[in-house]
Amino acid sequence: MISLTSPVRTRAHDLPAALKLGLLLVATAILAMVSDLWFQLAACAGTLGLYLAPGLRFFRAGLSRLRVLWPFVVMILIWHLVTRDLDQGLVIVLRMISAVGLANLVTMTTRLTDMMAVIRRIVRPLTRLGLNMKALEIGVALVIRMVPVLSDKGHQLTESWAARSPRRARWRVIAPLALLALDDADNVGTALRARGGLGNLEKE
């Protein structure tokens, strides 16, 4: 899951979080089981259609969040070109785009509190084994929240590089992006410690 915001309200916002997460689980399982190229093409086209249905503004916002996938797309296609199995590479790429795209669609149209409520109900039986529910909720929320933040910072670094050099940034932004990620992690850790830390959270 990549995004947490939607520039427009859609009909999907009114659907229960449990239903959307359940449909996402089923769709992802089907994508994983089917290896037919034409099926994956149709699934990817259908995913793009879901983004386009609320309008061009939603479509552009959703696709902008999927730009983080392009390095993986390139690596997978290059590898399968080398191994002379391009069809399989295309299947993997299309499957990845559809699965991540659908997950992103869910987070764009679902409040984080609603998703956490579903997760809380699912894992509640594990509290008998000593699972700290509050720590789990904070961990999941941080993962979902930080992915788009780092994606935006990566995009800003790329634009900054482009403004200063005619060459493409490519791998050159990896080191500063890693430092920014470490700095964010340190700041989040400091904030958590200031509030007592995860160890002091009461178990539900």
Share of the chain above pLDDT 70, in %: 88
Confidence of residue 32 (pLDDT cuts 50, 70, 90): very high
Say yes or no to pLDDT of 198 above 70.
no
With a CB cutoff of 8 Å and minimum separation 6, the contacts of 150 are 177, 180, 181, 184
Which residue do the tokens 């699912």 mark? 122
Q: What is the pLDDT of residue 180?
A: 82
What are the structural domain ranges in the chain? 1-110, 116-204
3-state secondary structure 25-87: HHHHHHHHHCCCHHHHHHHHHHHHHHHHCCCHHHHHHHHHHHHHHHHHHHHHHHHHHHCCCHH
Say yes or no to pLDDT of 121 above 90.
no
Give pLDDT tens digits for 69-113.
887 888 888 988 888 888 999 999 999 999 999 998 998 888 877
Q: What is the largest CA-CA distance in the chain?
A: 59
Q: What is the pLDDT of residue 123?
A: 76
